Structure 1
Amino acid sequence: MNTIRSTWVGWGALCVAGGGAYYFAKKSINADRAQRHEEAQRRKEEAFRREHSAKSPSSSGGGLTNMTRAKSAAEMDDTGSPSREAGHDPAATRHEPETSAERVDEKGKYEAAEKFTSRKGNRL
């Protein structure tokens, strides 16, 4: 016969068992994640080493000029930054305002041409 006490004992045992299972599963999952993270870091480090070892045997005299050329080419490439890329647009849609008054009076892209004024009086 199920009494209140046996019900409490059953639920308590179930909660303890569930908590224990969660604890050990979480421990296992975290260990697996840490292992995968270490492997990814190791692979990334090896790729970095391989990349730099392939670049280092170049001639010592032209190394600086090659590096500066590569650096300037990387700076000119704006594909990763659309906002910088838009600054080099040869066909700009408008001219920048030259004075502060023009800058204040300038209309935004989504602003109306004239200011909204509500009609006064009886509209019925």
Structure 2
Amino acid sequence: MWKQSLVKKTKNYQNQIKLLEEKITSEKLIVQEKEKNIEALTNKVLQLENTKSSLETEKQKLETDKSELQTKVDLLTQEKDATEEHLTESLQSVKLECAELSAQVKVGRHCCCYN
């Protein structure tokens, strides 16, 4: 009788061991899957960090280009303003000269007569 009880307990323990081994195997597969997911996510993070770095570099380049272009715009604006001022002064000078010549013509005197 005690032999049967011992055999029964032994079988029960063996079944429990088998169930625990199956559970361990299942848990190991779950852990492996999670490790794969972690590795995939780590790779994605590295990829995103590289992309971020590239974008920051591109942003700095664009900001430098923007600054250089703004400097060129400022210089061209100054040049345009100076040219407009010069042309306005030249136009006033020509208008004044034309007015003087017109006045001389009205009086009947030409500048060429004085030479």
Report the TM-score range of the alignment, normalised by the length of the smaller protein. Answer: 0.3 to 0.5
Return the index of the structure with the highest Cα Rg: 2
Query: Structure 1 length normalisation: TM-score?
Result: 0.44
- TM, length-normalised to structure 2: 0.47
Relative contact order, higher structure (CA 8 A, sep 6+):
2
